[in-house]
Amino acid sequence: MAPRPCAVIGVGQTKYKRRRDDVTLDGLVREAALRALEDAGATFDDIDAIVIGKAPDALEGVMMPLLSLCDALGAIGKPIHRVHTAGSVGASTAISAVNLVESGMYDTVLTIAYEKQSEGNATWALSGGKSGGQGAGGTFAPWIRNYIARSQAPEHIGWMVAVKDRLNALKNPYAHLHLPDISVEKVRESPMLWDPLHFLESCPSSDGAAAVVLGNDDIAKKSGRPPAWVISHAKRTEFGQFPGRDTVRPQAGVECSEALYRKAGITNPREQIDCAELYVPFSWYEPMWLEGHLIAEEGEGWKMTDAGDTELGGSFPVNMSGGVLSSNPIGASGMIRCLEAANQVRGTAGEYQVPGAKISIGHAYGGAAQYYAMWMVSSELNPVF
Amino acid sequence: MVSVAEDVAIVAFEQTPSHAHFNDSEPAMIMPCVNSVIEQVGMDRHDIDFTIAGSCDYLSGMPFAFVMNIDAVGAWPPVYESHVEMDGAWALFEGFVRLQSGDIDTVLVSGSGKCSPGSYREGFSLQTDPYVHAPIGLDPRTQAGFQAQALIAAGKATERDFAEVVARSHANAKDNPYAQLSGDLSVDELLAEPYVQQPLRRLDCPPTSDGAAAMIIARADKARELCDNPVWIRAIDHRIDSHHPTLRDLTDSPSVRIAADRVGLHDGPVDIAELTVTYSPEEIILRDALGLNGETSVNPSGGPLTGSPFMAVGLTRVIELARAIRNGDGGRGVAHASSGPALQQNLLCVLEGDG
């Protein structure tokens, strides 16, 4: 049997902010879920199964939280399961939900990812539960320096990404950071956190949730809402450390994108994909992922950024929504990338819409840049490239 | 009943003994299971299409603990892989679902957990609602006590019934080399033991256990190629009940009733039931909700009362059932996994032999 076609038929997001102390965890996930259902023209009664994802339970101190969230998610009497694949989890949760629809066993599936960082200590948890940890930036900074050394990229590339994503975020009412006076000078002069990453080149800590309603082809056609067909998805994992590992351009990332493009029939990603939501928690990961996911040749990614190609009006827009640099509820960040990619091909991205976008990708990575999850969405079920 | 497009079979399985304390890392516990199942089918590990694991960071006391577990699977060259923060039985669910798309043939499933390093009651109280229940330490044993008391109050069971479950489980485990506890216990002696959580006594509760389990499942053609005696997964389904004990009839399990209907449990004989009976009263609730009669052998392995490595224990029920079917102890049966306090979430998996 061939996989059953699957489409995004509804999306919902909360406002992302430093502290959502107006809602409990239950309230947070329900807010996103209800918005996604409303967008899909559906209710909880229409949902056959639920898949939730988030980063480590220790971020909020709630063990296996699907157990306490199931009431708020309308899951009573239904299947609900929980995915956890480190930082890639938001995207891999969305992909697990797609698998449920593609299996033919479930017609309509609700998937939700969230983080409420204000209820815990993210840097502690991201350091493996050890105090005095280096945090995610401390892990990635040496690899970024290695990228700069290999590619001979000028130092202003990171500042440009930091400005571009924050300017995009001004068009997105859900974004956490709205910094209208952002500038290259401000980024450059902000405190150095992990050389070469300045404070303003780093993602914020956010509370928030994102939800997607997925339906099979019958459901998508009946919904009357613009569908985003999930025409391809891929996940790859590799060890976090071993001698000879390429931490700048990890092989799992390369193979993940190869698998994604192969399944969709993409032969020239730079030309055939209209825009991308890539997981860029630190500015330099934009050029690194453009190369690491085969959108640019090796050593050429930073030139796309430098030329303005990745800006909203550029030839290959990246992170039109403002990206992880503007909102980072960790476990949800990957699902937000997938959701925003869907918004583009549904034509529902509002002020940050890429005109005529038909093909887009959502991407996330996690762990020591060792977990990858990507999906490709299309305005058409069977696009011809 | 759930429609299933692709026939899927278990082609290899392995489990560790249930250890009171496994004096090494979690990957070291998983690796022999993974190596064994790969060897059983004679595959190169790089030819496995998809891998999915179930484990819980909180048992290891470390965020991202599951990342270490990929050492046991092997992830170089890169692998197509995922993880659920749940018992390995839910990894099996996702693996089974993944095979239904028909574009891949084999899935390696594992589940693992080490309970011995931590305090299970303190840790698992964090499973409860964080605003009301967790701050008062509403741990799973306390909720199991509520459930047991509710059964007694409703006239559905007595403490003697609980003791009989314990005695039979321990007696059954005498033939199970993987069991942690076993032996001949008298019901009267059990009833003479002091309460640990009234009306529960020590052996109404599970031992602290470490363990791991792994299996390979495959689509039909591949399954026949890989092994001579596949055990077929006819259906798998899971359902959840309200988290709030006051919103539920604790003496029943609506989620098990729904799942039993969805898997078509009574569309054929139920020779064997391997049930995640973490606390002895749960067996009474499960038998009732599953509609089992005297013709079903319940927990011939001894069940979790004789060894309960959380996050592996549900997947181990599937393995124990598959082994019993392979051994010819029955032709068809059901394995049950559970998650959350007081049987909140339940999974059923119907297996059938190759006959």
- List the one residue out of A58, A108, A65 whose CA is nearest residue A83: A65
Residues 6+ apart with CB under 8 A from A244: none
Task: Tell me the DSSP string of A337-368.
Answer: HHHHHHHHHHT--GGGPPTT--EEEEEEEETT
Strand blocks (E) in chain B: 8-15, 50-54, 81-84, 106-114, 195-197, 200-201, 210-219, 231-240, 272-274, 297-298, 332-339, 345-352
* DSSP symbols for A32-95: HHHHHHHHHT--GGG--EEEEE-S-GGGTT-SSTHHHHTTTTT-TTS-EEEE-BTBTHHHHHHH
Q: For B101-131, what is each residue's pLDDT tens digit?
A: 999 999 999 999 999 998 888 889 999 999 9
Residue A91 token pair: 């995207």
Kind and range of the H or E element at B121?
helix B120-124
- Of B109, B85, B184, which is closest to residue A56 (Cα–Cα)? B85
Which pLDDT value is given to residue A131?
66
CA B216 vs. chain centroid, Å, equals 16
The CATH number of domain B8-119+208-226 is 3.40.47.10: yes
DSSP structure string for B18-49: -BS---S-HHHHHHHHHHHHHHHHT--GGG--
Task: Tell me how far apart the alpha carbons of residues B168 and A370 are, in angstroms, rounded to a whole number.
Answer: 47
Q: Chain B contact for A6, CB < 8 A?
A: no
B269 contacts B331 by C-beta, under 8 angstroms = yes
Q: How many Å apart are CA B22 and CA B342, to the nearest integer?
A: 27
Contact residues, A window 361-380, toward B, CB-based 8 Å cutoff: 367, 370
Q: B residues 121-150 near A, CB within 8 Å? A: 123-124, 126-131, 133-134
Q: Are residues A166 and A183 in contact, defined by beta-carbon separation less than 8 angstroms?
A: no
- Respond yes or no on whether the N-terminal peptide bond of residue B77 is cis (omega within 30° of 0): yes
Q: Which two tokens stand for residue B264?
A: 């078509």
DSSP letter (8 states) at residue A318: B
Instruction: Give the closest of A57, A259, A370 to B57, CB-based.
Output: A57
Cα angle for residues B99, B102, B107 (degrees, 5° grid):
30
Tokens of A266: 């993409």
Calculate how close chain A gets to B206, using CA atoms only, in Å: 20
Give the integer Cα–Cα distance in Å for B266 and B260: 8
CB atoms B85 and A84 under 8 Å: yes
List all residues of chain A from 228 to 257 with a beta carbon under 8 Å from chain B. 234-240, 242, 251-252, 255-256
Question: Which of B6, B76, B82 lies at the smallest CB-CB distance from A1?
Answer: B6
Decide: A312 and A276 in contact? Cβ < 8 Å.
no
Q: Quote the pLDDT of residue B269.
A: 97
C-alpha separations of B312 from A230, B61, B275, B347 in Å: 33, 17, 13, 14
User: Which tokens is B327 given?
Assistant: 């051994």
The token pair at A302 is 């930073």
**Residues from chain A contacting residue B98 (CB–CB below 8 Å):** 99, 103
Question: Cα separation of A153 and A148, whole Å?
Answer: 5
Length of chain A equals 385
* Residues paired with B31 in a beta bridge: none
Interatomic CA distance for residues B223 and B217, integer angstroms? 8
Say what the pTM is.
0.98
Whether residue B169 contacts residue B299, with contact meaning beta carbons closer than 8 Å, is answered with yes
Contact check, Cβ <8 Å, A251/B77: yes
Task: Collect all residues of chain B within an 8 Å Cβ-Cβ radius of residue A3.
Answer: 101-103
| Contact: B85, A58; criterion CB under 8 Å | no
Strands B297-298 and B345-352: unpaired
Residue given tokens 């009940």 in the structure block: B241
Concatenating the DSSP letter of every residue in A163-190 gives HHHHHHHTT-TT-S---TT--HHHHHHS
pLDDT value of residue B3:
67
Q: To the nearest whole percent, how much of chain A has pLDDT over 70?
A: 99
All residue ranges of chain B with pLDDT < 70 are: 1-3
* A70 in B contact zone (CB under 8 Å): yes
- Cα Rg of chain B, angstroms: 19
Alpha-carbon span B87 to B128, nearest angstrom: 17
Residues on chain B touching A128 (C-beta within 8 angstroms) = 62-64
Distance CA B288, CA B71 (A): 42
Q: Does A59 touch chain B (CB under 8 A)?
A: yes
Interface probe for B, chosen from A29, A47, A64, A101 (most Cβ of B below 10 Å), is: A64
Give me the residues of chain A with pLDDT under 50, please. Answer: none
Closest CA to B297 of B161, B138, B171, B139: B171
A215: Cα separation from own chain's centroid: 20
Q: What is the CA radius of gyration of chain A?
A: 19
Question: What are φ and ψ of residue B50, in 5° steps?
Answer: -150, 145
Instruction: Give domain limits for chain B.
Output: 8-119+208-226
Enter the DSSP assignment of A298.
T
Answer yes or no: do B130 and A60 touch at CB < 8 A.
yes
Strands B210-219 and B231-240: what pairing?
Answer: unpaired
Asked if B4 has any chain A CB less than 8 Å from its own CB, the reply is yes
Which residues are within 8 A (CB) of B326 and not within 5 positions of it... i.e. 6 or more apart? Answer: B229, B231, B353
**Residue B348, SS3?**
strand
The DSSP code sequence of A179-238 is: -TT--HHHHHHSPEEETTEEGGGBPPP-EEEEEEEEEEHHHHHHH-SPPEEEEEEEEEE-
For the structural domain made of A6-122+204-223, what CATH number should be given? 3.40.47.10
Alpha-carbon separation of residue A1 from A249, A254, A380, B5, B19 (angstroms):
35, 28, 21, 7, 42
Question: Three-state DSSP class for A385?
Answer: coil
* 8 Å CB contact between B296 and B262: no
CB contact under 8 A, A68 and B127: yes
pLDDT tens, position by position, A316-337: 999 999 999 999 999 999 999 9
